[in-house]
Every structure is written in structure tokens, then in C-alpha cells.
């Protein structure tokens, strides 16, 4: 083997991790969860979880990647061997790969919806449309396996093409172009939301904290969201961490990733709720917030159709920079383990995800009822897939925290952290005690829901 592959610049890991973190989780999931769970109280718990659970695990996961300089599966094998710890820890790598595989399969289908809406907006077919028409348009999309499949195929091929070109020519150059562009588009949409919508109502909704608004369910969703939004527990961060410069600070980088991700979720929330409230609609619309409520607002406001199109380009781009971080860990594993060429490895990964994506595609139409998962779990096949990842992510995070906190040798951890000061001690305390307790709590509460 040649010398280990490293990002071109010291700051590239930060760029790549932010690219992974900022995605549908920020633009689609965060706003609708906040809307469903009463606004400010949800955000308070979410921010707290990011600080005491998300950031410590983010540090731990990038540490494992950089200490091994391998793909997650091979990296965990290497770390357990070189530390003489139980090979059971290797399950971290495998669980991560399974989670990444499943998540990409449905992430791609949902990102595909944004492709459809970009077309709907720019073609002008929604201008002047009534709320009913726009609501029906979403129903029509979901009812069409052909359309869903076309967009899913397009999106997953685009993700594969970028990763297939390699970590420098593909991922790095792609991100260096896409990330600033996405940020710029977000600012345009935000400015539009403030001018055309009701930003004051949006701010009030997002930043008024009333803890009694929040159910236990809301607490759990806030914690789950903090994992999803930081891309934790499935090897994405570990895979990118393997290419991280030895000089970059793990702690400082993780704090930046979490900060940027949170600020972007909040800015998106302000823009979206300003538009939604500005058109006199409600916040608690669930997953349809972005694909029904927001288009109604765009159609209702001056210049909204053009801005709506621009907004959905932002959604596609942000989803793309996340999707590539789900392709990378598995593709890198296939290259390392079987000596495949990168394009072949990527091809296998995305073909598998494409196939599994059919489950999600059909769950909205021909499999929306009467399937075996409905009989067994009272859920659609897609809901079951999503449920599985909602278990795998916290479980992966829990194991990562325990492995980095307890099983790795103190010397290695201190060498990677490049410090032994009070920050190190705080991190160690959080990763050893607080993060595992918090995650175990979420995890144990999720399991009984299997009955549906
Ligand atoms: N963090 C991404 C988002 O917020 C989703 C994601 C999860 C990406 C896990 C990669 C790995 O949309
Ligand atoms: Na995110």
C-alpha cells in the first residue's frame, strides 16, 4: 500500500463533515419536527443534546477514523487488534455500514422529491395554484412509482459519480464548489423569507422556550434528530476522519461542525416559518411541511415561484453533499478489502442502495397497505426501514462513545487529542458517562415502539 490518503488541506475535513452534516436533516426534518413539537422547547433540548452528547461523539468518531486511517469496518478491525481489545467492538464498523446503506436508500428517494419540486417551480405549473391543487400535486407524486424511481435513480447516480471520481477530484472539489454556493442560496432564501414573510412570528415560534410544550416523545425526537443531523453513528464521519490532517484539532473541528450545522438549521427554520406564517398557515404539518405547506406559501407570495425553485435547488445540493458521505464508507471498504477499483466499488454500493430504495418508492403507492410489514408491525416497509436506522444510529453512537471512552488506550487517545488539559477531561467525562446514559435512555424508549 502507498502512503495513507489525506485531504489536500488541513481544513478539508471540516468542509467535508459540514457537507455531510448539512442536509435534509436541517432543511426538511428539523423544521417539521420543531413545528410538530411546539417550537422553542424542542430547540432547547436539541441544542443541549448537541452540546453534551453530539459533540463528544463527533469527536470520538473522527478520532477513531484518524487513529486508524482506514474505512470504518477495516479501521475498527485494526484498532481492536492493535489495542488487544475484544473483537466484538468490530460490530461498530459493520452496523455503521448497514445503517449507511439503509439511510442512503431512502435519503435518495426523498431528495428525489426535491428534484420534482424544482421542476414544478421553474416550469411555473404551480403559479397561482390553490392550496388544494398543491396538496394534490404531492399526492400525485407519491402515487407514481415511475416518477419516484426516475428521480431516485438520477440522484443516486449523481452521488455515485462524485464519489467514484475519488476523494480529491470528486469529493473535495465537489464540496469546494457546492458548499459556498449552497450557503449563498440559503442567504437569498432567508432574505426573501424576511422580506416577504413574517419573520417576527417565526422568531417568536423558534425562540420562545416553554418546556411544558414538550412531550416525552418530543424529548426523544430531539435527541434522535441531533444524531441524524450530525451524521453520527454510521461511519460517515469516521470515513472522512480517516483522511483528516494530523494537525487539525479534533475538539475545535467538532465544535465548528456542530455550530455550523445548528446555525444552518435555525436559518432554514427562520426562512421556512416566516414564509409559512406569512401565508397564514400552521407550523405542525409534519413531513409535508416542505413539500406541501412551503410550496403553498411560495405560490402565494410575490416572486415566490422563482424563489421556490431556487430553494429546492438548495435542498438537492445539501442532500447530495450528505449522500456522498454515505457512499464513501462502504465504497472505501470494498476498495480496501477486495482491491476493487473505486468506480467498481462505488457502482456496487449505489446499485445495492438503488435496489433497496425500491422498497421506499413502493411504500408510498403499491405497498402502502397490506404488505407483510403491515401485518407484522402495523407499519409500511419504509417506516420499518426508518425505524431500524433510528435504532442503529444511537446504538452505533453509544458503542463509539464506549469504545473511545473505555476501550482505547489512554495514550492513544491523548495523542490523537493532542492535549491532556481540562478540555480533554471534560470530553472524557462526557463520552464515558453522559453520552452513553443519554443514548441508552433514548434507545430503550425507542424499542417498545416496535409494536407500532
Ligand atoms: N446529517 C445529514 C442531514 O442532516 C444526514 C446524514 C445522516 C448524512 C447520516 C450522513 C450520515 O441531512
Ligand atoms: Na444536519
State whether the beta carbon of 229 lies less than 6 angstroms from ligand 1. yes
Strand intervals (E) in 25-97:
none
Residue 163 to residue 210: CA distance in whole angstroms: 44
Per-residue DSSP letter, 292:
T
Task: Say whether the ipTM exceeds 0.95.
Answer: yes
pLDDT for the residue 311: 96
pLDDT for the residue 451: 47
Rounded to 10 deg, the angle between the 304-338 and 12-21 helix axes is 120
Rounded to 10 deg, the angle between the 381-402 and 435-446 helix axes is 160
Give the number of whichever ligand sits closest to the CA of residue 103.
Answer: 1
Residue 115 to residue 440: CA distance in whole angstroms: 37
pLDDT for the residue 447: 65
Site to probe by mutation for ligand 1, drawn from 108, 110, 111, 231 as the one with most ligand atoms within 8 Å of Cβ, is 231
Query: Residues, the chain, total?
Result: 452
Domains and CATH numbers, the chain: 12-446 (1.20.1740.10)
Helices and strands, counts by H and E, the chain = 22, 0
Residue 301 to residue 281: CA distance in whole angstroms: 13
Site to probe by mutation for ligand 1, drawn from 229, 230, 266, 400 as the one with most ligand atoms within 8 Å of Cβ, is 229
Residue 300 contacts residue 316 (beta carbons within 8 Å): no
State whether the beta carbon of 225 lies less than 6 angstroms from ligand 1. no
pLDDT for the residue 153: 98
- How many A from CA of 31 to the centre of ligand 2? 11
pLDDT tens for the chain, 452 residues: list them: 445 689 999 999 999 999 999 999 999 999 999 999 989 999 999 999 999 999 999 999 999 999 999 999 999 999 999 999 999 999 999 999 999 999 999 999 999 999 999 999 999 999 889 999 999 999 999 999 999 999 999 999 999 999 999 999 999 999 999 999 999 999 999 999 999 999 999 999 999 988 787 787 788 788 889 999 999 999 999 999 999 999 999 999 999 999 999 999 999 999 999 999 999 999 988 888 999 999 999 999 999 999 999 999 999 999 999 999 999 999 999 999 999 999 999 999 999 999 999 999 999 999 999 999 999 999 999 999 998 988 899 899 999 999 999 999 888 898 888 877 888 999 999 999 999 998 888 777 666 655 44
Q: Which of 154, 153, 172, 152 is nearest to 162 (CA)?
A: 172
pLDDT for the residue 449: 58
Q: Could you give the C-alpha distances from 8 to 5, 343, 373, in angstroms and in order?
A: 9, 21, 46
pTM, full prediction: 0.94
Site to probe by mutation for ligand 1, drawn from 16, 21, 104 as the one with most ligand atoms within 8 Å of Cβ, is 21
- How many A from CA of 235 to the centre of ligand 1? 11
Amino acid at each position: 500500500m502507498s502512503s495513507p490518503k489525506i485531504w489536500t488541506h488541513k481544513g478539508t475535513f471540516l468542509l467535508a463533515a459540514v457537507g455531510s452534516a448539512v442536509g435534509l436533516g436541517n432543511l426538511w426534518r428539523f423544521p417539521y419536527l420543531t413545528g410538530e413539537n411546539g417550537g422553542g422547547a424542542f430547540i432547547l433540548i436539541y441544542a443541549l443534546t448537541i452540546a453534551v452528547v453530539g459533540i463528544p461523539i463527533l469527536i470520538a468518531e473522527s478520532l477513531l477514523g484518524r487513529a486508524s486511517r482506514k474505512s470504518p469496518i477495516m479501521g475498527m478491525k485494526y484498532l481492536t487488534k492493535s489495542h488487544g481489545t475484544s473483537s466484538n467492538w468490530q460490530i461498530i464498523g459493520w452496523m455503521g455500514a448497514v445503517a449507511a446503506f439503509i439511510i442512503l436508500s431512502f435519503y435518495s428517494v426523498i431528495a428525489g422529491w426535491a428534484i420534482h419540486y424544482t421542476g414544478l417551480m421553474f416550469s411555473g405549473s404551480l403559479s397561482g395554484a390553490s392550496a388544494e391543487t398543491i396538496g394534490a400535486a404531492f399526492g400525485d407524486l407519491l402515487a407514481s412509482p415511475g416518477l419516484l424511481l426516475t428521480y431516485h435513480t438520477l440522484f443516486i447516480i449523481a452521488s455515485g459519480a462524485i464519489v467514484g471520481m475519488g476523494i480529491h477530484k470528486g469529493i473535495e472539489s465537489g464540496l469546494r464548489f457546492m458548499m459556498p454556493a449552497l450557503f449563498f442560496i440559503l442567504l437569498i432564501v432567508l432574505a426573501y423569507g424576511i422580506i416577504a414573510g413574517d419573520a417576527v412570528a417565526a422568531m417568536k415560534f423558534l425562540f420562545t422556550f416553554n418546556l411544558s410544550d414538550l412531550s416525552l416523545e418530543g424529548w426523544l425526537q430531539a435527541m434522535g434528530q441531533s444524531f441524524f443531523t450530525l451524521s453520527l453513528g454510521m461511519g460517515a464521519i469516521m470515513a472522512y476522519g480517516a483522511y483528516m490532517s494530523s494537525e487539525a484539532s479534533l475538539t475545535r473541528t467538532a465544535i465548528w461542525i456542530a455550530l455550523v450545522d445548528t446555525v444552518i438549521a435555525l436559518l432554514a427554520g427562520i426562512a421556512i416559518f416566516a414564509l409559512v406564517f406569512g401565508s397564514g398557515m400552521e407550523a405542525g404539518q409534519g413531513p409535508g411541511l416542505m413539500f406541501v405547506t412551503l410550496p403553498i406559501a411560495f405560490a402565494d407570495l410575490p416572486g415566490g415561484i422563482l424563489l421556490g425553485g431556487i430553494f429546492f435547488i438548495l435542498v438537492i445540493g445539501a442532500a447530495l453533499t450528505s449522500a456522498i458521505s454515505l457512499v464513501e464508507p462502504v465504497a472505501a471498504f470494498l476498495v480496501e478489502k477486495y482491491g476493487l477499483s473505486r468506480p467498481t466499488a462505488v457502482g456496487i454500493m449505489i446499485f445495492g442502495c438503488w435496489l433497496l430504495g425500491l422498497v421506499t418508492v413502493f411504500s408510498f403507492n403499491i405497498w402502502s397497505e397490506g404488505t407483510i410489514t403491515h401485518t407484522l408491525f402495523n407499519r409500511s416497509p419504509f417506516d420499518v426501514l426508518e425505524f431500524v436506522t433510528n435504532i442503529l444510529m444511537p446504538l452505533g453512537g453509544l458503542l463509539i462513545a464506549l469504545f473511545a471512552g473505555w476501550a482505547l488506550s489512554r495514550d492513544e487517545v491523548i495523542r490523537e487529542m493532542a492535549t491532556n488539559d481540562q478540555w480533554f477531561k471534560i470530553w472524557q467525562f462526557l463520552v464515558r458517562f453522559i453520552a452513553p446514559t443519554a443514548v441508552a435512555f433514548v434507545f430503550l424508549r425507542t424499542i417498545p415502539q416496535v409494536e407500532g
